[in-house]
Structure 1
Amino acid sequence: MSDSQDILVPDIGDFDSVDVIEVLVSPGDTVDVESPLITLESDKATMDVPSPVAGTVTEVRIAVGDQVSQGSLVAVVTAAESTLEDAPATAATPQAQAEDGDNSKENEGESQGGDKKEPDRATETPAKIDTQLPSDPDSPAPKAEDPTPPLAPRPPPSLPPGSESDSEPLPHASPAIRRFARELGADLAKISGSGSHGRILKEDVTQFIKAALSQGVRDGQDGSGLPTIPEVDFSKWGPVATEPLSRIKRISGRHLQRAWLNVPHVTHHDEADITELEAFRKTLQSDRASEGIRITLLGFVIKVLASAMKAFPSLNASLTPDGEHLVLKQYFHVGVAVDTENGLVVPVLRDVDRKGILELATELSALSARAREGKLKPDEMQGGCISISSLGGIGGIGFTPIVNAPEVAILGVSRAQTKPRWDGAAFAPRLMLPLDLSYDHRVIDGAEAARISAFIAAALEDPRRLLL
């Protein structure tokens, strides 16, 4: 018995003379059962012709551009050892088997003593073949009581119908290419085909992926695969001018986008009654006016935040790159966002837990001045444990600050407003400070965030707590 198997085009329905648009194998390739060999295209669909046997391709009898019908020879496959018994029965349709039987009748007569019943058996239905065809041409027909009947030949493979869409046309690509694109996460709708009639080829998908990766490197992105914002010609509606982003905005923009995509953000909104604290601040400012020290509310917020980091160690932590462990920091450095002409920068005040309000006010004033002059050193913007973004000098009642990863939280502060609050007997005017705590939900859950926010608000409401 020969181990070479002719692979024929199976039943493809009512189609005749279907175009071959892609040959997926070459001589020497190894194929499995159901591995696609070629791709056909009709007026309505594309379809793969699968291999009915596993083995090695020895010949390819079809080229791109050929037209085929049911029974056309596609390739010759040397069947693997485990599929030799099934190969004759799966090589072609019953009609093709009958034709092969007629063509080989003379040879079989010479080798098997002129058996004339073979063509008749070949033209019978698969069910009759199952009960009458012996596994060995030289052996007698199996008896009814034979406990090991011969293997039944499998029917010829049928091709799945091609995908069609009534709403919008699908990209022009074969099932094999669609599968290849899915494995790589490529959107075929965004790929231009270089094949015949705009057909998408494997090379087109590969080039698309390379271009996407290259674009990600140029843009400093992480290959997130997010859809891009379409380019718009704004000049169609009126005069426009284009100017480059500042270097600070380009750098901070990429960092903020990376943080927003990687950190599951949640923001907890609260407010603190700072009526007494503001009165105390004004007294300090009056006492130190001659020294030229500008005491702001931000110095108190920094000091309170240091106490919060000690009370809640997860606030002063970072996730390891694998996301499996927390790095708990034993130092307390706070970054403060400073608005400059070219964008926001975040200088870092170090060891804030060891410094008093006056020292923090002096250091913050000096860092802010250097930030606005563009004279900050690189190490003055590194090593922060948590950040503060204050819009109190501008306005607003709340916002969602973006966590400055790898930090796990950031505190937003808006402008304080006088509001009526019930004191148990009557409404009284109180100065209320909006607080917005954004945090990494992988590290801090909602209940802990509420406790942290309550701790900060309580410390700001009673300045004496700062002495604890």
Structure 2
Amino acid sequence: MSTKEIKVPDIGDAKDVEVIEVLVSEGDSVNKEDSLIVVESDKATMEIPSSGAGKIKELKVKVGDKVSEGTLILIVEESGGSDKDKDDGKDKEKEDEKKPKDEGKKGEDSKDKEKQDKSDKDDDKAEKKKTADSKPKGEGKEETVKVPDIGDAKDVEVIEINVKEGDSVEKDDTLIVVEGEKATMEIPAPFAGTVKSIALKVGDKVSQGSTIGVVKSEADGEEEKSGETDQAKDENQQKSEAKGGARQSDFAAEGRGTVLHAPMPIEPGRDAPVPDYPLQRKGGDGKALHASPAIRRFARELGVNLEKITATGPKGRILKEDVQSFVKFELNRPKPTTSAAGAAPELPTIDYSKWGEIETTSLTRIQKVSSVNLHRNWITIPHVTQHDDADITEMESFRQSLKSEAEKKGIKLTPLVFVMKALVNTLKAFPTFNASLSNDGETLVLKKYWHIGIAVDTPDGLVVPVVKDVDKKSLFELSEELAEISKKARDKKLGVDAMQGSTFTISSLGGIGGTYFTPIVAWPNVAILGLSRNTMKPVWDGKEFKPRLMLPMSLSYDHRVIDGAVGARFITHLGANLNDIRRLLL
């Protein structure tokens, strides 16, 4: 296989530009026009495409290197090297033997053509001078402005029009911004003047030579200057063509063939379009982010997201001062987050067997998953727990009156379903408890549905199935569903969907015992209610002590979202609902 050196092509007047990204590695296969590296200068960021196809044998640049036109990027092994290539080589040698005979004749024809072209150009110059002299002084000339040479880009999209009819523009002011697959370019005005019409709109496709609009150039002095510039252009072009012709004749004399593609002369005094390959071209709302390549580079170095910056420059452009102001603001304000500030310290390994006999057993799968989630929730959520007792004497009397009716339907009516209905009523009165905190810690998602997670104790560990739309279900429906999901949890038949989507959680230890405890908030919820075993207690009614059935409640909540006063009001409101279940009808 033959090898080929891939070098940096013509990149304008840019020299010693920095390689900021290498897009390939040794052993990769590349096709022609595939991007190899990304370079960045003070004015632009550009992708350098491959001029050949093959397998990368050796990479010659790395991130941080400085490159210019002609710098070796890599060496590729070109596919080929077959008998066909050898035959092609022989055919080429035969053609080369014939070429010297034909080149002499071509050289004579070329000289005759040069004389004819020169005569035609002299006539054109005389005609231009005559036309210019006949024009009245003090009037500008209306000229059609077209898209200049933009490399091999074709049918690029117009993403921004920076001027409108009647605007005055200076030379090199940006007229439009176009965006291709590899770069975004600003197309400048070739001269100063007044915009008479715009032939494009956002979304149009343009290529080299496409009409942008009509601009009326400035009068008198500008025209004279333009005439002098045109004359200088013609002289430079003649010199360039003379050198090109001589070079072409030299190639012909040496028998190396005719030059088919000579480099196009760059128009004096005119800047080429500025390419830009932004990482953040559009904001979250779909609107374009206007910032120069230098500003984008400055923002990247500081790690700033341009979408969050308020632009103060002309036409909504982001300035360097805007980036600096944003950084100062972010550094000087405390920023809430939902993640831990740092990892927990590593615990030392202990040999427990040196103190006596031990037995090692593995945690169940549920315990392993739960331990990770519980640890995350405990260290990332600042917990506050408030305790209170609810008088459920009347509620329990009402439940007992419905017990026989529930048994006829094959349903076990537990106190938990009453608590669920009372809880939804309180959640509607305090919507911040039925919410989730966004990951950036700056917004609260208020939910308009009420799905209650119920912690169920199983032999393998704690699981939390979700009873959905509690507000739409009766006490009997809730009892039936609660019994069903509890059985599935203990039989390990709960699906993943059955344990997702809760807006609030209840952890009930009433059937086991205890008084108060601190339940851990189940993220992404912001609160959890713990219930302990209800007991008869003497309660002073203002005249005497009376036996009342009291339910111990423990409410834990995320202190970033809920203040202590709001937490106290919530648990008091819930206690009032449980004390008089008729309040749910209000």
**TM-score normalised by length of structure 1:** 0.52
| Equivalent residue letter for 2:389 | E
Structure 2 counterpart of 1:239: 357
Structure 2 counterpart of 1:346: 464
| Equivalent residue letter for 2:584 | L
- 1:258 counterpart (360, 367, 376): 376
| Shift of residue 466, structure 1, vs aligned partner | 2.1
| Shift of residue 431, structure 1, vs aligned partner | 0.6
- 2:399 counterpart (277, 281, 300): 281
- 1:376 counterpart (476, 494, 504): 494
The answer (yes or no) to whether the contact 2:406–2:476 under 8 Å persists in 1 is no
**1:462 matches 2:573:** no
Instruction: Give the Cα separation in 1 of the matches to 2:418 and 2:397.
Output: 13
**1:428 matches 2:546:** yes
- Deviations, residues 258-314 of structure 1 (Å, cap 9, x unaligned): 000110000010010001111111111122212210110110111111111111110
**CA separation of 1:222/1:315 partners in 2, compared to 1, >3 Å: closer, same or farther?**
closer
Instruction: Give the Cα separation in 2 of the matches to 1:265 and 1:372.
Output: 30
Structure 2 counterpart of 1:439: 557
| Shift of residue 358, structure 1, vs aligned partner | 0.9
Larger radius of gyration: 2
| Equivalent residue letter for 1:437 | L
Instruction: Indicate the SS of the match to 2:524.
Output: coil
Structure 1 counterpart of 2:534: 416
Instruction: Give the Cα separation in 1 of the matches to 2:510 and 2:556.
Output: 17
CA RMSD of aligned residues (A): 1.3
- 1:309 counterpart (409, 427, 431): 427
| Equivalent residue letter for 1:288 | A
Q: Give runs of aligned pairs for residues 67-146 of structure 1, distance below 5 A.
A: none
Structure 2 counterpart of 1:270: 388
- 1:321 counterpart (422, 439, 459): 439
Stretches of structure 2 that go unaligned for 5 or more consecutive residues are 1-338
Stretches of structure 1 that go unaligned for 5 or more consecutive residues are 1-220
- Deviations, residues 21-77 of structure 1 (Å, cap 9, x unaligned): xxxxxxxxxxxxxxxxxxxxxxxxxxxxxxxxxxxxxxxxxxxxxxxxxxxxxxxxx
| Shift of residue 406, structure 1, vs aligned partner | 1.0
Instruction: Give the Cα separation in 1 of the matches to 2:404 and 2:356.
Output: 54
**1:399 matches 2:502:** no
Instruction: Indicate the SS of the match to 2:462.
Output: strand
**CA separation of 1:285/1:259 partners in 2, compared to 1, >3 Å: closer, same or farther?**
same
- 2:345 counterpart (217, 222, 227): 227
| Equivalent residue letter for 2:468 | R
Q: Give runs of aligned pairs for residues 55-66 of structure 1, distance below 5 A.
A: none
Instruction: Give the Cα separation in 1 of the matches to 2:344 and 2:570.
Output: 34
| Equivalent residue letter for 1:257 | H
| Shift of residue 229, structure 1, vs aligned partner | 2.3
Instruction: Indicate the SS of the match to 1:429.
Output: strand
| Shift of residue 222, structure 1, vs aligned partner | 7.4
| Equivalent residue letter for 1:385 | T
Instruction: Indicate the SS of the match to 2:570.
Output: helix
Q: Percent identity?
A: 56
**1:451 matches 2:569:** yes
Structure 1 counterpart of 2:483: 365
Instruction: Indicate the SS of the match to 1:288.
Output: helix
| Shift of residue 239, structure 1, vs aligned partner | 1.1
| Shift of residue 227, structure 1, vs aligned partner | 1.4
Structure 2 counterpart of 1:293: 411
| Shift of residue 228, structure 1, vs aligned partner | 2.3
| Shift of residue 410, structure 1, vs aligned partner | 0.1
Instruction: Give the Cα separation in 1 of the matches to 2:469 and 2:573.
Output: 20
| Shift of residue 369, structure 1, vs aligned partner | 0.5
Instruction: Give the Cα separation in 1 of the matches to 2:405 and 2:438.
Output: 46
**TM-score normalised by length of structure 2:** 0.42
Superposition misfits of 4+ residues, deviation over 3 angstroms:
221-224
| Equivalent residue letter for 1:261 | I
The answer (yes or no) to whether the contact 2:340–2:379 under 8 Å persists in 1 is no
Instruction: Indicate the SS of the match to 1:232.
Output: coil
Greater RCO, 1 or 2 (C-alpha within 8 Å, sep 6+) = 1
- Deviations, residues 85-104 of structure 1 (Å, cap 9, x unaligned): xxxxxxxxxxxxxxxxxxxx
Instruction: Give the Cα separation in 1 of the matches to 2:409 and 2:550.
Output: 29
Instruction: Give the Cα separation in 2 of the matches to 1:234 and 1:430.
Output: 49
| Equivalent residue letter for 1:333 | H
Instruction: Give the Cα separation in 2 of the matches to 1:358 and 1:280.
Output: 14
Instruction: Give the Cα separation in 1 of the matches to 2:385 and 2:379.
Output: 15
- 1:249 counterpart (339, 356, 367): 367
How many residues align? The count is: 248
Instruction: Give the Cα separation in 2 of the matches to 1:251 and 1:222.
Output: 19
Q: Give runs of aligned pairs for residues 151-230 of structure 1, distance below 5 A.
A: 224-230=342-348
| Equivalent residue letter for 1:438 | S
| Shift of residue 223, structure 1, vs aligned partner | 8.8
**CA separation of 1:443/1:222 partners in 2, compared to 1, >3 Å: closer, same or farther?**
closer
